[in-house]
Amino acid sequence: MRTAARCLALAALAVLALPALGQADPVVKVEFSNPGLTPSRWTITLHADGSGHFSSERGNAQAEGSQAMDAADVDRDIRVSPRFAARIFQVARRHNWFNTECESRMKVAFQGWKKASYEGPDGQGSCSFNYSRDKEIQELGDSLVAVAGTIQEGARLEMLLRHDRLGLDRELEFIVEAATDGRVRQICVIRAILERLAEDSEVMERVRKRAKALLGRAEE
């Protein structure tokens, strides 16, 4: 009887410990909002191993130019490179888990509000900024805005593949240019659609070549 009671007690303790174990995984989250852009809101959640999630709300602003047929809301799991994730978490650590004043309060053009937050066993915190005087905080915002742009481009490629294959050539041309100047980063987050295009004999040869070229940057 004592053995049975002891086993039940240990089982109960194990169940009680499960939520605490689940909370041990540190998370960095960045939320973005700008009603003048499409999407007008998005959130990226990242774990230390590079896994994460992205969700966006398109908003009411009208897309322009080559992006006039814009992707709808996006909600999907993502994976950035471990090196990129490590850099994000290092910034959070060096800035006291974002328990700091991020916003510069300088008179600069509105770029969109970014709220960076951290939650983990070693602490938690958050701060919001349009533009930060701190170079690391500003770079964190810029880099995740670029990652969000990459994810949106991937969603747009998926839409064009279904509805406008001729539009793929121009879109991939834009992504190649944007990857070169840093407007999109972490090409690995759209690896699946690029691999699909690279192997699709029904799209233009130039589309396949550009998709393969971008795959070569997927680990950068």
Q: Is residue 20 part of a domain?
A: no
Please tell me the distance from the alpha carbon of residue 219 to that of residue 165, in angstroms, as a whole number: 27
Q: Is residue 8 part of a domain?
A: no
Q: What is the pLDDT of residues 159-214, one digit of tens each?
A: 999 999 999 999 999 999 999 999 999 999 999 999 999 999 999 999 999 999 99
Q: Using the predicted structure, report yes or no on whether residue 55 has a pLDDT greater than 70.
A: yes
Q: How far is CA 188 from CA 67, 147, 171, 215, in A?
A: 21, 10, 17, 8
Closest CA to 121 of 47, 39, 26: 26
Instruction: Please give the pLDDT value at position 20.
Output: 45
Q: Which of 12-21, 28-37, 72-81, 143-152 has the lowest mean pLDDT?
A: 12-21
Please tell me the distance from the alpha carbon of residue 64 to that of residue 52, in angstroms, as a whole number: 29
Instruction: Please give the pLDDT value at position 68.
Output: 52
Share of the chain above pLDDT 90, in %: 79
Q: Is residue 167 part of a domain?
A: yes
pTM confidence score: 0.85
The two tokens of residue 2 are 């004592």
Q: Is residue 73 part of a domain?
A: yes
Q: Using the predicted structure, report yes or no on whether residue 220 has a pLDDT greater than 70.
A: no
Instruction: Please give the pLDDT value at position 17.
Output: 40
Burial classification of residue 189, based on how many CB atoms lie within 10 Å of its CB (0-12 exposed, 13-18 middle, 19 or more buried): buried
21-52 in b/e burial notation, b at 16+ Cβ within 10 A?
Answer: eeeeebbbbbbbbbeebbbbbbbbbbbeebeb
* Phi, psi (degrees; rounded to nearest 5) at 95: -110, 35
Structural domain boundaries, residue 156? 25-215
Instruction: Please give the pLDDT value at position 203.
Output: 97
Q: Is residue 62 part of a domain?
A: yes
The two tokens of residue 31 are 């939320």
Q: Is residue 188 part of a domain?
A: yes
| End-to-end Cα separation, the chain, in angstroms | 60
145-177 in b/e burial notation, b at 16+ Cβ within 10 A?
Answer: bbbbbbbbbbbbbbbbbeeeeebbbebbebbee
Q: Using the predicted structure, report yes or no on whether residue 42 has a pLDDT greater than 50.
A: yes
Q: Is residue 9 part of a domain?
A: no
Q: Using the predicted structure, report yes or no on whether residue 6 has a pLDDT greater than 70.
A: no
86-123 in b/e burial notation, b at 16+ Cβ within 10 A?
Answer: eebbebbeebebbeeebbeeeeeeebbebbbbbbbeee
Instruction: Please give the pLDDT value at position 35.
Output: 95
Rg (CA), the chain: 21
Q: Using the predicted structure, report yes or no on whether residue 1 has a pLDDT greater than 70.
A: no
In the chain, the number of structural domains is: 1
Instruction: Please give the pLDDT value at position 219.
Output: 67
Q: Is residue 68 part of a domain?
A: yes
